[in-house]
A and B are shown apart, each in its own frame.
Chain A
Amino acid sequence: MAIVLEMKGITKQFPGVLANDNISLDVREGEIHALVGENGSGKSTLMSILYGLYQADKGEIYVRGKKVDISEPRVAINLKIGMVFQHFMLVEPLTVAENIVLGSELKRGPFLDYDQAVKEVERLSASYGLKIDPHAKIEDLSVGLHQRVEILKALYRGAEILILDEPTAVLTPQEVDDLMEVMRSLRENGTSIIFITHKIREVLAISDRVTVLRRGKKIGTKDTADTNAQDLAEMMVGREVLLRVEKTPAQPKEEVLQVNDLVVKDSRGSIRVNGASLSVRRGEILGIAGVEGNGQTELVEAIAGLMRPQSGQIMLSGKDITNWSPLRIKKAGLGYVPEDRHKRGLVLDYSIADNLILGLHADEPFCGVMGFHSRKAIMDNASKLVEKYDVRPPYPQQRAGALSGGNQQKVVVAREFNQDPELLICSQPTRGVDIGAIEFIHQQVVAQRDRGAAVLLVSAELDEILSLSDRVAVMYNGRIVAVLDREEADEQKLGYLMLGGSLEDYKAGGGNSHVG
């Protein structure tokens, strides 16, 4: 099959993070090419470069053998590259046909030729097997159909190379099946599809080839037929131990956190945590391994009081903190490094100094008479922490949003660790963080453990779990399916459990068979 697209040596540097490091990728005509990797691995950046949203610092792109310079999305569209984003861009009150032709309308005089638009949509819909009612209004359709409209929109503009950015993330299982049908039918029509996902099951179900990225680097491209779930999982989360953390054996004491049969629903009402139980002891690090999206986020947010559990119980230092407010839980001894520092951990428009008191802003010594803040106390605190946690540049007045990812994370870590919490939750503590900062943060996590904190670590990086944890819990489908001592855990076993295999099967020799 002919190669329709080639990206060679793409490199893109963002402040503090090398998002794409010399990545090459080729896509053949009429293939489904899966692009996988955890969040922050560089998939979206790479595709944004292909679609003209970002410019690469280095590297070349060839479309149908010709070198091209994709300076903006219009150029990509002219090259017959289409992209369907995770967040759809449709006009709700307009019909399907109107949305599809929007921006390149068929005109009859100054007016939209609606009948012709409907015919065009019907023709596309028939030839690609994408069933849709052209007269339906967008606001009346499901998310799955919205996505279908977006795909038709790209096809209407002549897309022959279609980028689908995590298309399954927003879909129900039934809708995922429908989407896969659509993708197959597109492939039969000769369309090349770049399918971004981090769900291994989907990769194996539909793709022809798969390229794995990790931390901005390409790990490899394989024919899907020649690989399996475990192989891919290892490529995604990393086999080689990049980072060695110096630590002494744990000396665990009494239990600080106990979670019993916790059930948590997300805002759409689907159950994300389904009867999870675990405990963490003073002086140990419990790592939660698992493929993202198996309920880790919701588990942690429920413990922090930011999501309401449906049922179950959470105990912190012997107190039942279920349904307590986030502030009360914090005061009871929780330190929490959230997985998304932009959404939760920082107010980017606040200075470093002001971010360093978030959650403490109503307390002594920062808040004094009549609710007035003490600038001096805030600045003293900031100068101390900026130095101790090596935040660069070390200017407390600097806007947090102007810092690199690693230094933003150090601000969050400084604030949470400095409170000497009883329980410390670190969720993806080194995501999007440069290597130097990773090492530093890892050392600090171990120091917290040695001080006597109970540490709950959630990470999609198996390396990180294995190098930091004293015990490893595996989360799958909303449950803690296994808890292993560090000595019992290795990549193979964890990879097997992470994909839904059971410990019994693994011990019976199932570790060599396929899962998923």
Chain B
Amino acid sequence: MLDRVKKVPVHVIIAPILAVILALIVGSAFVLTVGENPLHAYKVLFQESFGSMRGFATTLQRATPLMFTGLAVAFAYRAGLFNIGAEGQVYIGAFAAAWVGFTFSNLPKLIHLPLAIVAGMLGGAIWAAVPGILKAKLGIHEVINSIMMNYIAYFLTDWLVLGPFAGSSWIPESPRVKASATLTRLMPPTRLTTAIYIALAAGLIVYLILWKTKLGYEIRAVGLNPTAAEYGGISVAKTMVIAMAISGALAGLAGMEQVLGLNNRFIQRFSPDLGFMGIAVALLGKNHPVGIVLAAILFGALQTGAAAMDRLTAVPRELITILQGVIIFFVAAEYLFSRFIKVKGEA
């Protein structure tokens, strides 16, 4: 009996899987319109991203920042907050990491790299704490002000790399970070770095915080029933600020990975919507670290396979965007599935 009550509801696991399968079916309609065999297109797609060690490494590299932003969105969500500002937190985190990376020299890697990583976390945390404080103290909705914080982050970092911290090239970007602050590549020539370990560790830490600590208990209580949390002596305002700050720190790590792992400098407007993709990843991953890691790998795989599919079949790479959109659509329509599954279960 104990196992029975402890078990995760079936639809929590089945619905996202079903969403992905349905999206692939819907996507195949588009593949057919360009006169290609869907099975062939998908085969090329996934062969590229999972078929070789090299392809898989690229998949993981693309998944890494999405794991961070997915965790960021999910963490805030557990406190009942919708952190739509992860994108801005990525930028600020990235710049903070870059600044530490290119400013200090003659530091041993053992000090310099951790310092830059922590700076990335701090940048994101501070940027996210602002809407958290505004929500907690003044009741201003976090969606509104975290979106506004995004724009401030875009233009602030624009100015930073065009003005005070412009690099030497003609592209708007910061100076290169010192070698002592870069992440180690695991499988050259792929750009997979040790950031993947940090991402997996972050997933584990998020899990431990949320489900094994007092802080997580308070965060989830605030998310599920703030009036009961208040009754239980939990400061709702304080908990919201902390949850936003941790969420921002996770988003900041995505920016850190882009700077210290991928580009080795801060490039103006570098992010391919990592923060917004994080929302999709968190949604598909059901706001659980395990789900998020898997969802991020799926999205990473789609991106990795896109180029190959474009090259080797008649299907344009934009199909990936369609697939991602349709997946989100079906996840959002989850209650349809849960109803379907329940009805079937009762029959």
Q: Show the binding face of A for B, using Cβ within 8 Å.
A: 304, 306, 325-327, 330, 336, 338, 343-350, 354, 357-359, 361-362, 367, 370-373, 375, 395, 397-399
Chain B: which residue is nearest A341 at the CB level?
A: B228
Asked if A326 and B230 make an inter-chain contact with CB atoms under 8 angstroms apart, the answer reads yes
Asked if B214 and A326 make an inter-chain contact with CB atoms under 8 angstroms apart, the answer reads no
- Hey, which chain A residues are within 8 Å of B212, CB to CB? 372-373, 375
Asked if B233 and A325 make an inter-chain contact with CB atoms under 8 angstroms apart, the answer reads yes
- Hey, which chain A residues are within 8 Å of B234, CB to CB? 327
* A-B pairs with beta carbons under 8 Å apart, 20 shown: A306-B230, A325-B235, A343-B227, A343-B228, A345-B231, A346-B225, A347-B224, A348-B224, A349-B225, A350-B220, A354-B217, A357-B217, A358-B228, A358-B232, A359-B233, A362-B214, A362-B233, A370-B213, A372-B208, A395-B2
Given A306-B230, A375-B212, 6 further pairs, Cβ under 8 A = A304-B231, A344-B227, A346-B225, A350-B224, A358-B228, A371-B213
CB within 8 A of B233: which of A327, A338, A367?
A327
Across chains A and B, which 8 residue pairs bring their CB atoms closest together, nearest first?
Answer: A327-B233, A358-B232, A359-B232, A344-B231, A371-B214, A371-B213, A367-B214, A347-B225
Asked if A358 and B213 make an inter-chain contact with CB atoms under 8 angstroms apart, the answer reads no
Asked if B213 and A330 make an inter-chain contact with CB atoms under 8 angstroms apart, the answer reads no
Distance (whole angstroms) from the CB of A355 to the closest CB of chain B = 9
B134 at the interface (CB under 8 A from A): no
B215 at the interface (CB under 8 A from A): yes
Interface class of chain B by DSSP:
helix
Distance (whole angstroms) from the CB of B216 to the closest CB of chain A = 8
Distance (whole angstroms) from the CB of A304 to the closest CB of chain B = 8
- Hey, which chain B residues are within 8 Å of A327, CB to CB? 233-234
The verdict on A395 contacting B5 (CB below 8 Å), with A326-B233, A344-B227, A359-B233 known, is yes
CB within 8 A of A346: which of B1, B5, B228, B235?
B228
B41 at the interface (CB under 8 A from A): no
B344 at the interface (CB under 8 A from A): no
CB within 8 A of B213: which of A345, A349, A359, A372?
A372
- Hey, which chain A residues are within 8 Å of B257, CB to CB? none
Interface centre among B213, B214, B220 (most CB of A within 10 A): B214
Asked if B213 and A347 make an inter-chain contact with CB atoms under 8 angstroms apart, the answer reads no
Distance (whole angstroms) from the CB of B156 to the closest CB of chain A = 34
Distance (whole angstroms) from the CB of B256 to the closest CB of chain A = 24
Query: How many A-B Cβ pairs are below 8 Å?
Result: 73
The verdict on A347 contacting B229 (CB below 8 Å), with A358-B221, A361-B218, A362-B214 known, is yes
A304 to B235, CA, bound (A): 14
Asked if A347 and B228 make an inter-chain contact with CB atoms under 8 angstroms apart, the answer reads yes
CB within 8 A of A361: which of B2, B230, B232?
B232
- Hey, which chain B residues are within 8 Å of A338, CB to CB? 231
Distance (whole angstroms) from the CB of A345 to the closest CB of chain B = 7
Asked if A349 and B217 make an inter-chain contact with CB atoms under 8 angstroms apart, the answer reads no
- Hey, which chain A residues are within 8 Å of B215, CB to CB? 371
Interface string of B230-258 (1 = CB under 8 A from A): 11111100000000000000000000000
Interface residues of B in 188-222 (CB under 8 A from A): 208, 212-215, 217-218, 220-221
A348 to B221, CA, bound (A): 10
- Hey, which chain B residues are within 8 Å of A370, CB to CB? 213
- Hey, which chain B residues are within 8 Å of A358, CB to CB? 221, 228, 231-232
- Hey, which chain B residues are within 8 Å of A362, CB to CB? 214, 233
A375 to B216, CA, bound (A): 14
Distance (whole angstroms) from the CB of A34 to the closest CB of chain B = 31
A422 to B229, CA, bound (A): 22
- Hey, which chain A residues are within 8 Å of B224, CB to CB? 347-350
Asked if B5 and A326 make an inter-chain contact with CB atoms under 8 angstroms apart, the answer reads no
- Hey, which chain B residues are within 8 Å of A350, CB to CB? 220-221, 224
A516 to B14, CA, bound (A): 60
The verdict on A397 contacting B228 (CB below 8 Å), with A371-B213, A373-B213 known, is no
- Hey, which chain A residues are within 8 Å of B233, CB to CB? 325-327, 330, 359, 362
Asked if A306 and B231 make an inter-chain contact with CB atoms under 8 angstroms apart, the answer reads yes
Distance (whole angstroms) from the CB of A85 to the closest CB of chain B = 21
Asked if A359 and B231 make an inter-chain contact with CB atoms under 8 angstroms apart, the answer reads yes
Distance (whole angstroms) from the CB of A111 to the closest CB of chain B = 30
A362 to B2, CA, bound (A): 26
